[in-house]
Structure 1
């Protein structure tokens, strides 16, 4: 049984499997996914990334279980971007009427996303933004 994955446990001393397994382990990884140096540090206030979700533009650069394509919502006058959902969140910015808030996740009465394409990341109450209009 040579040429297959090495066993996790070794029950006997007689079986020797190869260290190279081309079926499940690549010989080397080249290109953009190779770990070739230190990570680039980004300002987390402007990085649409959580432990469970990230903006689709971060695919291949950040590893999370899910990636989302943003849905552009329009802010109502006085909409507040906050650091956490609920009344305890720090106000990060006030959005202008009609300003785009790119929604990446909706949970309860709150949307998580990014102000415009490169702006601050945070939460906005769903009551303070309008869903995009669908064509008829």
Structure 2
């Protein structure tokens, strides 16, 4: 990397100061990079949040059954992305379909 890189807007790329999608390692600096785990949105559509609280600004809307990439969990919240280009955001773990035992 050469020189400063503009930080993307919240809810776009899966990038935080502490963690980023592994596909962004060549472009963005983060303390850690994560290999995402595929998960599926449950039976109801969801609106991602830009922060881990219920009254946070809304992000992208995702339809029921859409595959997402799980990047991090904290308490009852999951940080997910629709791929390395985003969008990304937070949702409640209960809004994801149960993980398969494959």
Q: TM-score normalized by structure 1?
A: 0.64
2:82 to 80, 104, 115: 115
Runs of 4+ in 1 over 6 A off after TM superposition: none
- What per-residue deviation string (whole Å, max 9, x for no partner) do you get for residues 58-110 of structure 1? 11322222100111111021222111112121121321111112111000000
2:27 to 48, 56, 61: 61
* Structure of greater Rg: 1
Distance across 2 between alignment mates of 1:85 and 1:38: 28
**Structure 2 regions of 5+ residues with no counterpart?**
none
**Structure 1 regions of 5+ residues with no counterpart?**
1-32
Q: Are 2:67 and 1:100 aligned?
A: yes
Alignment of 1:1-136 (within 5 A): 33=1, 35=2, 39=5, 41=6, 43-44=8-9, 45-76=11-42, 77-135=44-102
When residues 50 and 97 of structure 1 are mapped into structure 2, their CA distance, relative to the original with a 3 A threshold, is same
Between Structure 1 and Structure 2, the one with more strand by share is: 2
CA contact (8 A) 2:20 2:34 kept: yes
Distance across 1 between alignment mates of 2:86 and 2:18: 20
